[in-house]
Amino acid sequence: DVPMTQSPSTLSASVGDSVTISCRASQDISKWLAWYQQKPGKPPKLLIYEASTLTNEAPSRFSGSGSGTEFTLSISSLQPDDFATYFCQHYNSYSKMFGQGTKVEI
């Protein structure tokens, strides 16, 4: 298992702001990093995989970058629907560990 450290734990922002969430792996994980969005009472939704590839369901204002041990999720021009909790995840054939999560709130 590769522990993942996410920061910040909470992020206060306004509609229209641009925000960045960081995720750090304890060892080199290449590009094997995903980002999820979760809203209360719902299962998570996959937004980004392989560190920077958006899923078909993810709006283009979301972007991911990084490789190795340092990764970021960026949201440009926050929309009301974006206020949620975001999780990073390292995935491979043996493990799929999550970061602690970042709550993006108004």
Partner 1 sequence: QVQLVQSGAEVKKPGSSVKVSCRVSGGTFSDGIGWVRQAPGQGLEWMGGLMAMFEEPNMGQKFESRLSITADKSTSTVYMELSSLRSEDTAVYFCARFRVTGAVSHPFDIWGLGTMVTVSS
Q: Does 23 bind partner 1 (CB under 8 A)?
A: no
Question: Which two three-digit tokens encode residue 58?
Answer: 């993810």
Q: Tell me how far apart the alpha carbons of residues 61 and 67 are, in angstroms, rounded to a whole number.
A: 20
Q: Does 60 bind partner 1 (CB under 8 A)?
A: no
**Spatial contact of 80 and 105, defined as CB atoms under 8 Å apart:** no
Q: Among the candidate windows 12-20, 30-38, 66-74, 75-83, which touches partner 1 by CB under 8 A?
A: 30-38
Q: Does 61 bind partner 1 (CB under 8 A)?
A: no
- CA end-to-end span of the chain, whole Å? 34
Neighbours of 64 (CB within 10 A): 24
Per-residue interface string for the shown chain with partner 1, residues 65-94, x marking contact by CB under 8 A: ----------------------x-x-xxxx
Binding site for partner 1 (CB under 8 A): 1, 34, 36, 38, 43-46, 49, 55, 87, 89, 91-101
